[in-house]
Amino acid sequence: MSQPIVLGHDEMDEVHAEFEALLAAAGDCSDEDLPGTLDALTSHLQSHFAMEDDWMSRGEFPPRDCHAAEHAAVLKSASEVRPLVAAGNLVVGRSFIRALAEWFPAHATHLDSALATWICKQRLGAKPLVFHRRVASH
């Protein structure tokens, strides 16, 4: 991911930045470090998704079932991949990390941004504002 995904909800943006950093570390880690790195990534996902699921439930976010179902599917995949990696199947671990990297931008852009907007409207009565620096192309 070239630029971090920023949605205008500070807590969500912070947890997403943590996730992106862990994901980058997982993609670059050695084979020896892959099982531990995958464990750290999975632990982060569990707390990350629990936090968002709680926000959706407490805020009565209308599409929460669809959003939470995506979270559950990712956690299910992680729980299936971890023992395979621990047994030495590093290919499936690397594949899972790539799949997460491909999945996350669309999830954040569509589902998480809708949640950020919902929360901000409830708390502040307005949509979040996000400013992005233009990157000059040469």
Cβ 93 vs Cβ 80: under 8 Å: no
122's CB contacts (< 8 A; 6+ apart) are 59
pLDDT tens by residue, the chain, 138 residues: 457 888 888 999 999 999 999 999 999 999 999 999 999 999 999 999 999 999 999 999 999 999 999 999 999 999 999 999 999 999 999 999 999 999 999 999 999 999 999 998 888 776 666 655 566 666
Burial of 58 (0-12, 13-18, 19+ CB in 10 A): exposed
Check residue 6 and report its DSSP letter.
-
Torsion angle (degrees, nearest 10) of CA 58, 61, 66, 69 = -10
Q: How far is the C-alpha of 19 from the C-alpha of 1, rounded, in Å?
A: 12
- The pLDDT value given to residue 1: 44
